[in-house]
Amino acid sequence: MNLQQKLSAKTAVVGVVGLGYVGLPLVLAYARAGFKAVGFDIDPKKPEALHRGESYIKHIPGEHVEEARAAGTLDATTDFRRVSECDAIILCVPTPLDHHFEPDLSYVTDTLESVVPHLREGQAISLESTTYPGTTDEEVVTRVEAAGFKVGTNLFVVYSPEREDPGNPKFSATNIPKVVGGITPACLDAGVALYSAAFEQVVPVSSCKVAELTKLLENIFRAVNIGLVNELKVAADAMDIDIWEVIRAASTKPFGFTPFYPGPGLGGHCIPIDPFYLTWKAREYGVHTRFIELAGEINRSMPKYVIHRAMEALNSRGKAVKGSRVLLLGLAYKANVDDMRESPTFELMDRFLELGAQVDFHDPHVPVVGKTREHMNWAGKESVAWSKEVLGSYDCVVISTNHAAFNLDELAASADLIVDTRNAMAAVATREGQVVKA
């Protein structure tokens, strides 16, 4: 049987490389759809956890892993030789920026070096990592053809951008429409068959480049609009206007307006990073993406603004930042998840520490800071306990992420100064001057 026939009969084996926030829900989706799904990761702790029937990502229930293991549809390994067992291989590895805000494709290229030697005829390989237009052609196809395959004839190459939204209860891995582009029409057919087997809706596009730019557009749209509202927040604060009230009022317009909300900076693997993949690629064509770069500059400046507001608030109480005890509420980059990637809270902690403050954090989803690429100095630091006594012992409490688990009434009853970057305290009874919005 060919690939499409195997997918239709659910006898195909689907491999997913990279078992993080994108790869784990994806490999579980195929396992739950009745396929033999094999997850690959260089970190042995992840396959070991899956073999025990455990999830290591908080918003992904362990029961889903247990069910797939009990059904015999889920396996996981660090042995890339097993790529040859798979009929389709989906790559879900990080694509960060380097210190010059230029693409770092080392995870993609290193993964391809591990995968390509074990490919065989008839397989499909799909890249899901967010990247600049042309990556699939330049990096995947080049390596596959150098290994002796003819793309579109005896091996099929596609690109399908991940659209995960961790912690969003409305959307799972499979009910978000799946955009797919192929190198050739035959590749596109293979990609549509691969993703139709597990996803409710597949959106085919004319090329991998179109699919690559689609993902960038989605996140650039958000980054630019968040940059706009962050800039307006600073202007509104200077005019003594509550930007959150302005957004609520503007949101009553039934057309022509989409609400975006300010914050302490951008977090997650997508919005702070993805726009710069297009900026970098556009320079190759002599194009200057001014909107993208300006939005990035504004969003990267927001932690500094939060620090400035906190300093002003402490000064108004006769206290300097140096020597003050500061508590950050929320280390994860968004509410109700344990995802710390690119979290602006790290920069807030760094800046407070540089200014001489004693810095702690509380996050029920992140009991201890794990290893990160850019903030290794915080690795191993533990979340402090939540209690009225603990909250009251700090000179300043900064709400950087508004987790539902926070008891905001208790916070208001305990903390002397609250710097609120998320408008979390809007509906909570507080004392005059107790809350400073930032």
Q: Are 344 and 266 in contact (CB under 8 A)?
A: yes
**Fold match between 3-209 and 246-268+300-437?**
yes
The domain ranges of the chain are 3-209, 246-268+300-437
What 3-state DSSP class applies to 294? helix
For the segment 322-365, what is each residue's pLDDT rounded down to a tens digit? Answer: 999 999 999 999 999 998 988 999 999 999 999 999 999 999 99
Per DSSP, the residues of 118-171 read G--TT-EEEE-S---TTHIIIIIIHHHHHTT--BTTTBEEEE------TT-TT-
How much is the average pLDDT of 269-289? 88
CA–CA dist 193, 84 (Å, integer): 20
**CA distance readout (Å), 81 to 40, 73, 92, 111, 383:** 10, 19, 18, 12, 40
Catalytic one of 86, 92, 187, 270: 270
What's domain 3-209's superfamily in CATH? Answer: NAD(P)-binding Rossmann-like Domain (3.40.50.720)
Q: State the fold for domain 246-268+300-437.
A: Rossmann fold (3.40.50)
pTM value?
A: 0.91
Catalytic annotation on 270? yes
Residue 173 has pLDDT above 80, yes or no: no
Per DSSP, the residues of 211-259 read HHHHHHHHHHHHHHHHHHHHHHHHHHHHTT--HHHHHHHHTT-SSS---
Q: What percent of the chain has pLDDT over 90?
A: 89
**CA nearest neighbour of 328 among 221, 415, 240:** 415
For the segment 4-14, what is each residue's pLDDT rounded down to a tens digit? Answer: 999 999 999 99
